[in-house]
Amino acid sequence: MTDADETRGRMRAIWFDALRAIADFELQRERWLDRTNTNPAWSYIEFVCKYPDPAQLRDGVQKGYVSPDEATILQDFGETLIAHRSPTGNDRDHEAILSDPAWQEVVRAAGIALQRVEALQC
């Protein structure tokens, strides 16, 4: 396996894992509400920050990390993700975010995007 193949695999894993995590409401509930979990990677803020932005996706298409169709799905969902605002204005208020119907819609949209990406990979 070449370095380029390894990089491609790593970038795909990071981006698609970010989508999977956003689509997994139970994972969020488990990790975000666990008071003993001090790892900042398990937070609303990090879930949003880890998601690829349009520039990263354009670069990913140019470098062959993702197909144009995959990038379009990821970017379309990304617009839904970045439009979400914490209902209390506090991005650390995980209970409020998880209870927010708008966040639940984001999670649902992530699930649909994930299904669409997986359908392309068949």
Tell whether the model's pLDDT for residue 1 goes beyond 80.
no
3-state secondary structure at position 31 = helix
Among 55, 29, 52, 53, smallest CA distance to 42 is for 29
The share of the chain scoring above pLDDT 90, in percent, equals 89
**Residue range 13-20: average pLDDT?**
96
User: What is residue 3's predicted lDDT score, i.e. its pLDDT?
Assistant: 84
Model pLDDT for residues 49-75, shown as the tens digit of each residue: 999 999 999 999 999 999 999 999 999
Q: In the chain, where are the structural domains located?
A: 3-120
Give dist(CA 16, CA 32) in Å, integer: 20
Give dist(CA 60, CA 34) in Å, integer: 34
How far is CA 96 from each of CA 40, 51, 100, rounded to the nearest angstrom? 18, 21, 6
